[in-house]
Structure 1
Amino acid sequence: MPHLTFQERAVISHMRYHGETQKAIAEALGRSPSTISRELSRNRSPKHGYIPHQAQQLAKRRQSQPSVASKLEEPRLHAVVTQKLKANWSPQQISGWLKETNSDLRVSHQTIYRFLYALDRKNPIRKAMRRGGRRNRREKPGFIKAWKVGRVSIHKRPKSVDKRKLVGDWEMDLMTCHKSSGHLVTAVDRKSGYTLIGRVRTKQSAVVMNRILDMFKGIDPSKIRTMTFDNGTEFFY
């Protein structure tokens, strides 16, 4: 299960403010109640309570702390794996070879990948990998390529948006509800954290965009400066 997104954290804050239970929040987001409970206990401020921006920063800080694949701390296993990597073996080949040779050493290819991607790209072991340690990226379908033509990159939006200086810079996202009971469209103001939430039954772009228009009907136009959309095709209209 992927990590909670900022939009999900905004929904958690919004529903908590309106008195919803952790179970109700979990059902709305398609998460387990334990995930919501853990989020509220780990990423809340003792002084200010649960605030989405602060929760996101705390989570990112925790995720950025380097995690070492403990299995590869074993000297013999570390030596074998690094030797094979330098010989241009893939993690899958190394894992399979250890099993075939009835060695007492065992390691999954996922563990080897985690070990490698925790290293700096300039590390000789990672550079010895096929593709130079770069992650594989699948080619996008032709429709997606065409859809992206004319879109403005997030890197070209005003610098004030990144610095959260002004009210009116909105981030849009769409989340699938538990058991396919529909989807939640979220709009979060980056400065204030004010959140708008709308429900749609389908991810068709026309339906989603019309729902967004309805959500913003009561918002003062002066409070709408920019909108940053997720790259999902549901926002292509």
Structure 2
Amino acid sequence: MSLLERKRIATLRERGLGIREIASRMGRAPSTVSRELERNTLAHDQGIYDADLAHHRAQERIKRARPAKLRIDSELRAEVQAKLDLEWSPEQIAAHLRALWPDRPERHLCHESIYRALYQGAKGGLSRTLTKKLRTGRPLRKQRRKADQRAPQFAVPATLIDHRPAVVELRERAGDWEGDRATRSCTNLSGLTDWRGS
């Protein structure tokens, strides 16, 4: 989150707006705003969210970020790579690690950590070539889009039944009879009988 966004949260919070309203105005998920407020408002802040202070705290956390488990634990890395070679999914591997080392939580990974390690390559501790072993086979991670940002599936939008051309009602062309059984009239059916008789 940028400093500008944090300043916006602080301003809206001062005005007494709730988390959902702040998130809506910023185009962010309510969980993102809630998490930001929880992480960067400490007990001695007396319930006041300070944007500059929050930004500084976030930057400090980034500097203190721990190295990836897969980079520092060679045995864990070997186990994950072996299962990826067998084309196991990251979800299956995460469950397997918990079963393999139930009393060693430092060797437990969530599936998201495995995906991140794969797509970050050497920085994450796994080779990017292993992305070919995933069921998607994507070399790069596909960014999720919100429902309102998704592209339509069809190049030409479908025509609604109410907007059909008048010629369809005449039922003279091949294909005009299909898909419209509920609205056939008696005259159309008698026409069908005449056609069969001829």
Shorter-chain TM-score bucket reads 0.3 to 0.5
Max Rg structure: 2
Indicate the structure whose relative CO is greater, using CA pairs within 8 Å and at least 6 residues apart: 1
Q: Which has the higher helix share?
A: 2
TM-score, normalization: structure 1? 0.35
TM-score, normalization: structure 2? 0.40
